[in-house]
Amino acid sequence: MNFLARVMRFLFWLLVLSWSVTLLRRAVAWIVRGVATSPQQGAAAGSSSNQDVATSRRLVRDPVCGVHVAEVLAIPLREGEETVHFCSIACRDQYVGNTKKFAANG
């Protein structure tokens, strides 16, 4: 019975310790997030920072290889009124080459 009590006590303190670590991580993340969005940085960046956050979360698909890329990191190519995004210059060049080939055979 003594052994079982020790095992239960160990499991209890292990659970308390894991909860404490989780709460501490959340508190640190909250503090870091508060520092990152401090009023000094917000005033210096202006309203463009809000637009950057909104567009950085948007993913676009490369039509050549099918990779999803963040819109702010993608390489854009404007075709008429439509903008096509690519993950690399090689994919963009391949797309442009295929478009010209299809137009020549058209």
Give per-residue pLDDT as tens, 50-68. 555 554 578 888 888 888 9
Give per-residue pLDDT as tens, 6-27. 999 999 999 999 999 999 999 9
Reported as a pLDDT band with limits 50, 70 and 90, residue 106 is: very low
- The phi, psi pair for 76, rounded to 5°, reads -85, 150
Predicted TM-score (pTM) of this structure = 0.43
Distance of alpha carbon 87 from alpha carbon 82, whole angstroms: 17
- Here the tokens at position 83 are 């903008």
Ordered by start, the domain boundaries in the chain are: 55-106
Does residue 72 have a pLDDT over 80? yes
